[in-house]
Chains A and B, each alone.
Chain A
Amino acid sequence: MAAARFARQLLALAPDGSARVTLYGAEPYAPYNRTLLTGLLRGRYASGTIALPTGGAAVRTGTEVVAIDPGARTLRTAGGETAAYDTLVLATGAAPVVPDLPGLRTAAGALRDGVHPLRTLGDRARIAAAVRSGGTAVVVGGGVLGVDAAQALAGAGAGVHLVHDREHLLDRHLDAGAAGIVRRTLASLGVRVHHEPGVLTALGANGRIVGFRLSDGTRIDARTTVLACGARPRTDLARAAGLAVATGVVVDDTLATSAPRVYAIGDCAEHRNAVHGRAEAAWEQADALAAALAAELSGTPAGTRPPAPPVLLRLGGGPVDVAAFGDSTAAGDDTEVVTLADATRGTYRKLVLRGGVPVGAILVGDLTTVGDVADAVARGEPVAGDALGLLVGEGRP
């Protein structure tokens, strides 16, 4: 995604003919919008309609880059092809985390049949095929992807169990009150949510997973398992080439890596000790890098970089409508909290302030004020005694 946006913007902004871009990808598909995979699972979007513009870049699908040589400015593909570059942009993204659960893998270390991450169009197709006949699925992980996948599978007609290991759903962004409303919304869709603080055990038969046993002895029968346990930046290529890598490929404020003429953007990049892992951040970085390189090509000074977006959770593709900003779960003597909860309508609104300045917010169920709230938290300017007005908007109770 980051790569497609970068190519589109660079080719649009650079003086005519001054830039040529080749996109290499291991997947057999042209670049597509990964954020829409759960929507596709739910049955929105006709198949094949989530492709992204690439602005006329040469697109090499099914062509994994297996090595780069920043000194020689060359790359090598899995097919053994070597290609030279002037500038290299790493947008290798992130790989799904496979949890270390008993029974999940074969003795040889491969995932057993019936277990799928949800990261690619291929994953989406396999999951859709598996639940097509209305089977039951288990989603492992109660974070953003897990909740979204659960509601999408329920929307597609599958029976769904959602298993998570924390106190409440979406625990990185939501407090218990907000999460409770999300849980009720999921329940109304038929999703059964299980809290598993201990060890989840996969149950196998004939080489495939057929369900799980919770540590309290509960048994879930399901022939499809969706792993939603987070993702880790894909850094192998960068590491092997000797680039500085921490959690992600380390980049400076210009998105440059430690190697000359090599940049990194999107989920694989680590900027100021943070890996964003969000499509929105990937877009901002792609735009900033494209603008800077286009300016370089046209011989004009680069413009200012856009501000980094605030930490944000946003789930809006289905019945679960949630947004969280900034320090949304902060509590303590130095914070003031305004909370408006209406369980009868499934709404929850919360603003966290420090010294009258909004530092975090949660909105569930009614997002009328989402724009103003996002802006207020991003700006960090005092609400001047009108926290309630900010949360509920004009002329509303």
Chain B
Amino acid sequence: MTSGAQPADTHCPYCSLQCGMRLRRIVSPESPGAGPGGTTVAVEERPDFPVNRGALCGKGRSAAAVLAPGARLTAPLVRDRRTGRLREAGWDEALGRAAEGLADAAARHGRDAAGVFGGGGLTNEKAYLLGKFARVVLRTANIDYNGRFCMSSAAAAQRAAFGLDRGLPFPLADIARTGCLVLVGGNPADTMPPAMRYFRAQQAAGGTLVVVDPRRTRTAETADLHLRPAPGTDLALALGLLHLVVADGRVDEAFVAARTTGWERAREAAMAHWPERVERLTGVPVAAMRRAVELFCDAPTGMVLTARGGEQHSKGVDTVGAWINLCLATGRAGRPHSGYGCLTGQGNGQGGREHGQKADQLPGYRSITDPAARAHVAAVWGVDPDTLPGPGRSAYELLDTLGTDGGVRALLLMGSNPVVSAPHASHVTERLRALDCLVVCDVVRSETAELADVVLPTAQWAEETGTMTNLEGRVILRRRALDPPPGVRTDLDVLHGLAERLGVGKGFPTEAEEAFEELREASAGGQADYSGIDYARIRAEDGVFWPCPRAGAGRPHHPGTPRLFLDRFATPDGRARFADVSHRAAAEEPDADYPLRLTTGRVLAHYQSGAQTRRTPELDRAAPGPFVEVHPRLAARLGVADGTPLTVTSRRGSVTAPAVVTDRIRADTVFMPFHWPGPGRANTLTNPALDPVSRMPEFKVCAVRVEAAVTEGAR
């Protein structure tokens, strides 16, 4: 083995931590990950990057495996019109077929019949140009992305409360300095292990950790207090805690008076949720609620962080609003080492929602219905504002209407795998099949790519440059460490090529930095203002926190904004707004036919739909397939043991996976991880009931029936 030149400082391809890592090129013809000429990269620590300070999890350490030719696509595929099968094709043919499909749908059914579906893993530059492609080239209203399935509830609740949505309003390292940390529906020990150093440091410094989760996860095991509400009842729990805050006279009246509005209604809502009632709704004993309030209020500072467990509900926005209310009532917001934050999931879950791949938004976190925002962005794009479409359908609604009258007929899909990751996935699969044309850009031959008419193999993280915005709102730079293999192009190349074929020859740069320069202009003056950020600053400063407006001529750089809201909230009057919320049932509660609750989540070894991690041998060995966690009493009642194949049935379908008998899960609930396709696909079961505001599907709770699987032999 010979070592190559300078190592490249970059970031992990997976979650929203965007851990810093160093890639060293190695030439090793016999290496399993070796590309052309035997070149591949080795992942090394990058101890100077402040978020993870060198630490990496198994996913990050093994990330180079997906670069290997065997694991990925290296030639475009098109569906042969004669055989109906995917076959390899040249780029010209593939791009031609894709452009033709999109143009045909628009010509036959109107512009909105061509659609775009993006992803929260795309770089800012890709997300930005994808949105521009939809609005300027296709001129369709129908663009949305899988981030809608991620943090849209937290985003809506934060905008309502604070006037601004940034996952964490403070650097991640600040959580080590808070007195009491309440973590709602998140399991960073499994989903973002390098973040755990801050949790441990927080407790080591005398702080306390309260974890709210129906499962006794690895994170919950480290907590000082673990509250286990039934899935779908976090809203009631937050209201119950606020009730106790009021009952015990722990409201920070001065803060409420000076920095908030809407307290009276929020207090009334809390009064309707008395502790014994909340205990019955949630299953959390009153004494445990009281203890949580003591821990939270007795500490000098406090934070509440939510993640998907609290957010992926048909009442996700109200639930997050209720947790924010708890922070506001106790004065734990807009102050150092206190506040509410959301642990974003996907790699660019934050940046992905800021630059225009969301149905209702334009770059810079601007509203697509705001005339001033439309005028600004149209000017940057050199188009008439009136040609920009209005808001389109949200992710699930877009997928749900694919191939229907009035729905999208040709879809360009980039960086997403909805066949595995969408709720009611069997239905979504059917809708994808009903398309006249499906174009998929991906690194690997994902389950969704299998349904495509055109598959465009794209470069990945180590092979291209681009910015990401991590869960803190820190804009960071991934740097190209090696060339993509022959046959592979970047997503920016793809957009450029499609735009050109659809008659727009300019405005789709293939160089990321050029795209970023345009993004800066488009974002200028918006909430997520990147105009003062450039690649050189990101390199020099280990990332820059937005908002970072451009400084006037002759003025020093704006320093970026690591901590938001310390002086005022981003609302017109500078005050945070309490949410007026009340508990309501889940869209689907258990009944006689479906007596149990199902909740879903992740395992340590895998990421999202597993398209990358399942192709990494080390990770596949660590977690080879789906399973169903069942409580020992439920297992005994069903007469099943560890490993017994179980059939789990909801109103939407049935799946089969082996039992894992454990008292980590509540007796009235079963848990399944969602990383796998096929007969054990958890999202076959999940409920696409949507939050009325965020349009977030109810991934985290639905009603199911569980039985020992009938095996072929017994049938």
Please give, as numbers and ranges, the residues of chain A lying within 8 Å of B666 by CB-CB distance.
372
Name the A residues within 8 Å of B282 (CB-CB): 371
- 0/1 interface trace, chain B 220-258, chain A, CB 8 Å (1 if under): 000000001010000000000000001111000000000
Interface contact A33-B285, CB-CB below 8 Å? no
Chain A positions 370 through 391: 1 when the CB is less than 8 Å from some CB of chain B, otherwise 0: 1110111001011111100110
Known: A8-B582, A45-B247. A279 touches B277 (CB 8 A): yes
B701, chain A: closest CB distance, angstroms:
15
Nearest neighbor of B585 in chain A, beta-carbon distance? A306
Contact B287 A383 (CB under 8 A): no
From B246, B276, B589, B637, name the one whose CB has the most chain A CB atoms within 10 angstroms.
B276
Q: Give a binary string over A292-326; 1 marks a CB under 8 Å from any B CB, 0 the rest.
A: 00000000000010110100101111000100000
Interchain CB contact under 8 A, B268 and A53: yes
Among A9, A371, A383, contact of B230 (Cβ-Cβ < 8 Å): A371
Asked whether any CB of chain A lies closer than 8 Å to the CB of B194, the reply is no
- Out of B247, B283, B284, B584, which one reaches A375, CB within 8 Å? B283
Smallest distance from the beta carbon of B292 to chain A beta carbons, Å? 14
A96 within 8 A of B: no
Decide: A370 near B248, CB < 8 A? Known: A53-B272, A321-B287, A384-B633: no
Beta-carbon contact of B667 and A372 below 8 Å: yes
Query: Which residues between 36 and 56 of chain A lie within 8 Å of chain B, taking CB atoms?
Result: 36, 39, 44-46, 49-53
Which chain B residues border A381 with CB–CB below 8 Å? 595, 637
Q: Mark A196-239, 1 if CB is under 8 A from B, else 0.
A: 00000000000000000000000000000000000000000000
Distance of A53 Cα from B285 Cα, bound (Å): 25
| Complex: chain A residue closest to B246, CB-CB | A49
Please indicate the chain B residues that have their CB under 8 angstroms from the CB of A50 in the complex.
271
| Nearest CB on B from A151, distance (A) | 14
Closest chain B residue to A367, Cβ basis: B285
B286 sits at the interface (CB 8 A): yes
Asked if B265 is at the interface (CB within 8 A of a chain A CB), the reply is: yes
Contact B283 A372 (CB under 8 A): yes
Residue numbers in A under 8 Å from B582 (CB-CB) = 8-9, 12, 53
- Provide the B361-386 mask, 1 if CB < 8 A to any CB of A, else 0: 00000000000000000000000000
A35 touches B633 (CB 8 A): no
Residue in A closest to B587 when the chains form the complex, CB atoms: A303
Residues in A335-367 with C-beta less than 8 Å from chain B: 367
Interface residues of B in 259-281 (CB under 8 A from A): 265, 267-269, 271-272, 274-277, 279-280
Q: Residue B205 at the A interface, CB < 8 A? A: no
Number of interface residues of A (CB under 8 A): 50
Contact B283 A371 (CB under 8 A): yes
Is A368's beta carbon under 8 Å from chain B? yes
Is there contact, CB below 8 Å, between A394 and B663?
A: yes
Q: Which residues in A have their C-beta under 8 angstroms from that of B246?
A: 45, 49
Q: In the bound complex, how far is the Cα of B666 from the Cα of A298, in angstroms?
A: 37
Q: How far is the CB of B315 from chain A (nearest CB, A)?
A: 11
Residues A306 and B268 in contact, CB atoms below 8 Å apart = no
Is A29 at the interface (CB under 8 A from chain B)? no
Residues from chain A with Cβ under 8 Å of B247 in the complex: 36, 39, 44-45
> How far does the alpha carbon of A382 sit from the alpha carbon of B268 in the complex, in Å?
40
A46 to B580: give the CA distance in the assembly, Å: 21
> Could you give, for residues 451-484 of chain B, a 1 whenever the CB lies within 8 Å of some chain A CB and a 0 otherwise?
0000000000000000000000000000000000
Asked whether B277 lies within 8 Å of A283 as measured between CB atoms, the reply is yes
Shortest CB-to-CB span from A92 to chain B, Å, is 20
Chain A residues contacting B269 (CB-CB under 8 Å) are: 53
Check: A280 CB closer than 8 A to any chain B CB: yes
Question: CA A378 – CA B314 in complex, angstroms?
Answer: 25
A161 at the interface (CB under 8 A from B): no
Q: Is B636 an interface residue (CB 8 A)?
A: yes
B contact set with A: CB distance below 8 Å: 228, 230, 246-249, 265, 267-269, 271-272, 274-277, 279-280, 282-288, 580, 582, 584-585, 589, 591, 595, 632-633, 636-637, 663, 666-668
CB pairs A–B below 8 angstroms (11 shown): A50-B271, A51-B268, A314-B276, A315-B276, A316-B286, A371-B282, A371-B284, A376-B667, A384-B637, A386-B632, A390-B633
